[in-house]
Amino acid sequence: MPTSVIRLVRVAGRLSMALAAVAALIVVFLALIALTDGAGSGLAAWLTTLGAGAVLATWRCRRRSGVARLVPFLPVVVAAALTATVCIPTVPTTRQHPPALPFVATQHWSLATGSRVAVYHYPPANSARRHPVPLVYLNGGPVRGISVLDHRFLQLLARQGYDVYTYEPAGGGRSDLLPMGQYSISRSVRDLAAFVDRLGEGKADILGFSAGGVVLTQALADPSVAARLHRAIIAEPGPMDGPTAHISGPEGRESARDLAPAMTGPRSTHVPRYAAAFGLMRLGLLTPDTGLIGQAEGVNAFTAADLGSDTASAYCARDAQRIPTEDTAQNFSFSPAASLRVQQTIKDSPSIARRLGQSRTPAMLMIAECSSQVRRWATTILAHDPAIKRTQYMPGVGHHMWNGLDDNNDRAAAVVTAFLQGKPAPLPNRPTRDEIPAFLREHK
């Protein structure tokens, strides 16, 4: 074999060993991040990895001389540089609230629970058709700002005579953060009760969407909170409690997930620090209260593009090429850590089926045709809440039913207003409780 080939093979071998050493040190670093829960912004794991790598390099160079003694340290230096990027913030570490919206004033209310939330009020535009009971909207998330699309839908309801209030949950949007340990589904329910009390107008109608529907369902199962509710609309709910959260099963008709073009825009997950933090949190290897990144930093870093195919999954497959922009980059706000914390408290919560069975608050369930939600999350609520007066299966829409496409907002508003006014439903009442098994089998 020619000498040049032998040299090339040796160089390739040494390079491969060096790259393997770098990869091994990165794996050790990530393992230590998980073991230390990111203590000290990751510096504890970084210093330990650097020290271990230096010790190993020193041992390897003990029989070398001259410049060759430094070669084993090269992978350590490279790994140290790469892993250091996980320890260095690239966004502000104190909360940067979104700027004010141009079309609605932001109020801040301090609730009796200790939460300080951002509140938006859309007074009824038509006094002749004014509905006497205020309507409160609970958005999805669970800890997310209210999107511009949702604001447009609430404006539509106000134009139809409703006195509409909504608030961003603690930690979301322009609301103040809570200590991580205080986020929970029970806190969300208490905040709802405190918000209705703060309105000072007696009972309120509540429209809860997605995670907001879960808060509303839990509120209906709590007699002290349910006493504050006039009528309840549960739209596309998530799992209502721990047993329901572990249910699998059919979803709705095909959504636009994996069919729509990839979301554009900056992604925090393209930055090593946030890719590691959010990825390890999602895998359960870091706690929401991790020392790697603070809660405020995580909210500041997370972008709409980080949601990836989750946004597309809220639309029908037929709409894959025309999914609207749900929010502006300036208004978008999502707290991944606090959301995971709330979701975990739902998974850990006991069954509310028995208490929900005692509910007397008139309620309506809204289910989307192309929902990406597990169908049994909604039908379990229908099966256990005897006060659900009607179910409206919404054709032609995905999880985000009021999305500005075609006449979807008007159709959703018609369903909402008909129920709140006690008028006949614009759509058939289906599925009924007796139709649940067939509904699930039909994969609708």
Residues 80 and 121 in one domain: no
Model confidence at 5: pLDDT above 60 = no
Q: Are residues 345 and 202 in the same domain?
A: yes
In a shared domain, residues 73 and 147 = no
Given this model, what pLDDT does residue 2 score? 67
Q: Residue 96: inside a domain, yes or no?
A: no
Q: Is the pLDDT of residue 12 over 60?
A: no
pLDDT of residue 214: 98
One domain for residues 56 and 121: no
Residue with tokens 């069954």: 351
Residue 101 lies in a domain: no
Report residue 215 as tokens.
């808060």
**Residue 411 domain-assigned (yes or no):** yes
In this structure, is residue 355 part of a structural domain? yes
Residue 4: what pLDDT?
Answer: 61
Over range 246-256, report the average pLDDT.
90
Task: Give the pair of three-digit tokens for residue 412.
Answer: 């959703």
What average pLDDT does range 178-188 have in this prediction? 97
Decide if 98 is inside a domain.
no
pLDDT at residue 55 greater than cutoff 90? no
CA angle, 283 then 288 then 291, to 5°: 105
Residue 300: CATH number of its domain: 3.40.50.1820
Q: Nearest-CA neighbor of 312 among 381, 264, 241?
A: 264
Count of beta carbons in the 10 Å neighbourhood of residue 155: 15
pTM (2 d.p.): 0.93
Percent of the chain residues topping a pLDDT of 90? 81
* One domain for residues 112 and 78: no
User: Of 13-17, 184-188, 242-246, 422-426, which range is least confident?
Assistant: 13-17
- Chain-wide mean pLDDT for the chain? 92
pLDDT the model gives residue 364: 98
Note whether 117 and 193 are same-domain residues.
yes
Q: Tell me the pLDDT band of 52, cut-offs 50, 70 and 90.
A: confident
Task: Give the per-residue pLDDT at 185.
Answer: 98
Number of domains in the chain: 2
Q: What is the dihedral of CA 384, 388, 389, 390, to 10 degrees?
A: -90
Q: What confidence tier does 76 reach under pLDDT thresholds 50, 70, 90?
A: confident
Please report the pLDDT score of residue 14 as a whole number.
62
DSSP 8-class letter at 368: E
Confidence of residue 250 (pLDDT cuts 50, 70, 90): confident
Q: Do residues 205 and 304 both lie within one domain?
A: yes
CA trace torsion 234, 239, 244, 247 (10° rounding): 120
β-bridge partners, 136: 165, 206
Residue among 94, 120, 122 at smallest CA distance from 108: 120
Q: 12-16, 324-328, 344-348, 387-391 — which is least confidently predicted? A: 12-16
What 3-state DSSP class applies to 262? coil
Domain final residue pick, 84, 118, 152 = 84
pLDDT > 70? residue 323: yes
State the Cα–Cα distance between residues 148 and 355, nearest whole angstrom. Answer: 35
Give the domain extent around 183. 107-441
Q: Quick check: 306 pLDDT over 60?
A: yes
Residue 372 lies in a domain: yes
Residue 442 tokens read as 């039909």
What are the structure tokens assigned to 25, written together? 């040190």
Contact 388, 418 (CB under 8 A): no
Same domain, 300 and 427: yes
Last residue of a domain, one of 52, 84, 116: 84
> Looking at the domain assignment, is residue 275 inside a domain?
yes
Q: To which residue do tokens 């700027």 refer? A: 99
Residues 37 and 125 in one domain: no
The β-bridge relationship of strands 164-168 and 204-209 is unpaired
For residues 107-127, average pLDDT? 94
Q: What is the pLDDT of residues 365-412, one digit of tens each?
A: 999 999 989 999 999 999 999 999 999 999 999 999 999 999 999 999
Query: Structure tokens of 286?
Result: 């870091």
Where a domain ends, among 32, 50, 84?
A: 84
With a pLDDT cut of 70, the percent of the chain lying above it is 93
Query: Are residues 388 and 435 part of one domain?
Result: yes
Q: Are 65 and 118 in a shared domain?
A: no
Confidence class for position 19, pLDDT limits 50, 70, 90: confident
Task: Please tell me the predicted confidence (pLDDT) of residue 300.
Answer: 96
What's the pLDDT score for residue 66?
Answer: 62
Quote the pLDDT of residue 263.
Answer: 86
Q: Which long-range contacts (CB under 8 A, 24 or more apart) does 177-180 make?
A: 177/95, 177/295, 177/296, 177/299, 177/335, 177/338, 178/115, 178/338, 180/288, 180/289, 180/295, 180/337, 180/338, 180/341
Whether residues 356 and 424 share a domain: the answer is: yes
Distances (CA, A) of 383 to 72, 391, 395, 420: 66, 11, 22, 22
Which region holds residue 11: left if phi is over 0, alpha if psi is between -120 and 50, else beta? alpha
User: What type of residue is 171?
Assistant: G
How far apart CA 54 and CA 31 sit, in angstroms, is: 18
90 in any annotated domain: no
